Copies of this chain bind each other. A is one copy, B any other.
Amino acid sequence: MQVTVLVCEDDFDVGAETEALRGTGVGAIASFTGIVRDTDGTGPSQHLIALTLEHYPQMTETEITRIVAEAGERWPLAAVRVIHRVGRLAPQENIVFVGTASAHRDAAFESAAFIMDYLKTKAPFWKKEETQEGAHWVDARLSDDEALEKWKRR
């Protein structure tokens, strides 16, 4: 399994990332792109000015690599690419890319969803949102923790 994990301030190119997942025996590529939304989710009036992503250097790469390795044990994957941006991001900017390549679609889809669910709840990133009413740290969502349950039942 070819694995690429990147944590950086720079933007990424979804086309180039998807292209890099191709290879012998690959019949299915699933990808996920996370994007900064215009609102902080509490209501349409809470217009978001920017999002700042803080992280724990070294531990982020280690933790994402561990999650990807676990995905590689559960599904027959040819390649995985994960990119997570840090720093200040404006609405509409990319935050995260997860791409998985396999012979068949189930493995590609499920492993991409699995990696995103674990990344959301285990990788040490923290979001601070700036709205017109000030800045605040984003609260962790219980629904993200609950999303892990479906992978444990298997």
- Which residues does A use to contact B, with CB under 8 Å? 13-16, 18-19, 22, 24-39, 92, 103, 105-106, 108-109, 112-113, 116, 147
Contacts and interface: CB of A to CB of B under 8 A. Distances in A.
Contact of A14 (B19, B24, B28, B36): B19
A103 B30 CA distance: 18
A25 B37 contact: yes
B38 A32 contact: no
Given A18-B18, A22-B35, A27-B35, 9 more contacts: A14-B18, A25-B39, A27-B36, A27-B37, A28-B35, A30-B30, A105-B113, A105-B116, A109-B112
Q: How many copies does the complex hold?
A: 2
B13 A25 contact: no
A30 B25 CA distance: 22
A32 B30 contact: yes
Contact of A27 (B19, B25, B27, B34): B34
